[in-house]
Amino acid sequence: MYAWPASEVPALPGRGRDLRIHDTATGGSITLDPGPVARIYVCGITPYDATHMGHAATYNAFDLVQRVWLDTKRQVHYVQNVTDVDDPLLERAVAKGLDWTALAERETALFREDMTALRMLPPRHYIGAVEAIPGIVPLVERLRDAGAAYELEGDIYFSVESDASFGGVSGLDAEAMRLLSAERGGDPDRPGKKNPLDPMLWMAARPGEPSWDGGSLGPGRPGWHIECVAIALDHLGMGFDVQGGGSDLAFPHHEMGASHAQVLTGQRPFAKAYVHAGMVALDGEKMSKSKGNLVFVSALRRDGVDPAAIRLALLSHHYRADWEWTDGVLREAEERLARWRAAVSRPDGPSADGLLDEIRTALANDLDAPAALAAVDRWAAAQASEGGTDEGAPGLVSRAVDALLGVAL
């Protein structure tokens, strides 16, 4: 699928620092050493509703990863999927009386518009689950033929016991896994499974639901985790640098994905770092399509809110924090944007060489965007109070804020 247009990334003097980032699997920070081409896979949307602030916050985190790497003069090979067939999408289409493909296309188109407006750099490959099916089927067949998958009433399940390192991504105990599996798309209580946690790899065709040719698996559709594994292996291979998503994906999605890939290839790890963004809440509860407590990027844009202010609102929270969206968060971001724009609109100002270094240092330190904003705030405050004589400074600040934070001043 096509992704969306890239906003220009202005060139900056010098070179950024290598990214040190928190890895869920080890529970600590690691300095990534990606080589000349950094490889990242970020889990994309299930397109049954519009982009909300939680999605936007998660994609903002991984956009910063891409920007930090670009600033180290590396190429970035970024892959993102679209789960354009899955239970929640089919259920929503039935509830709304819509064709499921039309619903998926409409919401994916809106997501592209939101990402473009927020200046999120596009992935190099943007791949739908449906278009990945021909690559998924042989992987499921291989798992089954290797004894790592089994059939239950026509459906094919992955056996978590086939992976000795299962549990290594989330580090959760069996009881916690069971609870989360039931909450997040699994079916731990289905009778006949070898292990309650075993996830579905291939779902046999159900009456009234779409299905595809599954070769020796029979007609059906793919499970969720194998979708991302097939796309990541096809476009990035094993041992890529970062697997990203919100913290609700650590288990089961990223745990199961790592197991599938490790059993398939006999290699470890699937990803060198598993990076998870915190959850954005509204009125005390995680913002989610199923709960319906949502603030949409597109609705704010329609109300005339500047996308740069939305982006600054996202950046004002550390990506790993769980935080609450409020009108106050947006108001503060709008005020900050106005202060910054006033500061860079003057012909000269205080030197910004130190500021560029501060932004780079903050972002390389586990994407500390709030520290980067505080550094720009200090420069803008100095500009407002004393000003300065450096003619290159306002231009350098706008280029740095655009290139590293994705905010156009």
Q: Which residues are annotated as a binding site for Zn(2+)?
A: 43, 228, 253
Q: Residue 43: name the closest of 15, 69, 81 by CA.
A: 81
279 contributes a contact to Zn ion by CB under 5 A: no
Judge contact between 391 and 347, C-beta under 8 A.
Answer: yes
24 contributes a contact to ligand 5CA by CB under 6 A: no
Query: Residues for the chain: how many in total?
Result: 409
Judge contact between 228 and 44, C-beta under 8 A.
Answer: no
319-348 residues near ligand 5CA, rule: CB under 6 A: none
- Binding residues for ligand 5CA, how many (CB under 6 A)? 21
Binding residue for ligand 5CA, selected from 58, 181, 243, 398, defined by CB under 6 A: 58
Question: How far apart, in whole angstroms, are the C-alpha atoms of residue 91 and residue 186?
Answer: 16
| Sign (positive or negative) of CA dihedral 59, 65, 71, 76 | negative
Q: Of 194 and 286, which CB lies nearer to ligand 5CA in the complex structure?
A: 286
Judge contact between 252 and 242, C-beta under 8 A.
Answer: no
C-alpha distances out from residue 117 to 7, 44, 122, 126, 350, Å = 9, 17, 12, 18, 30
Q: Of 9 and 172, which CB lies nearer to ligand 5CA in the complex structure?
A: 172
Q: Of 227 and 402, which CB lies nearer to Zn ion in the complex structure?
A: 227
Question: How far apart, in whole angstroms, are the C-alpha atoms of residue 4 and residue 121?
Answer: 8
CB of 307 vs Zn ion, minimal distance in Å: 25
Judge contact between 131 and 105, C-beta under 8 A.
Answer: no
Q: Of 83 and 398, which CB lies nearer to ligand 5CA in the complex structure?
A: 83
Q: Of 46 and 66, which CB lies nearer to Zn ion in the complex structure?
A: 46
Q: Which does 46 bind (CB under 5 to 8 A by kind): ligand 5CA, Zn ion, none?
A: ligand 5CA
46 contributes a contact to ligand 5CA by CB under 6 A: yes
Cross-sheet strand order for the sheet of 149-152: 149-152, 155-158, 200-204, 220-222
Binding residue for ligand 5CA, selected from 167, 220, 246, 269, defined by CB under 6 A: 246
Binding mask 265-304 for ligand 5CA (x = CB under 6 A): ------------x-xx-----xxx----------------
CB of 95 vs ligand 5CA, minimal distance in Å: 17
81 contributes a contact to ligand 5CA by CB under 6 A: yes
Question: Nearest 5°: phi and psi at 141?
Answer: -60, -40
54 contributes a contact to ligand 5CA by CB under 6 A: yes
CB atoms within 10 A of CB 132: 22
Binding mask 227-246 for Zn ion (x = CB under 5 A): -x------------------
List interacting residues with ligand 5CA (CB under 6 A): 43-46, 54-55, 57-58, 81, 83, 228, 245-246, 248-249, 277, 279-280, 286-288
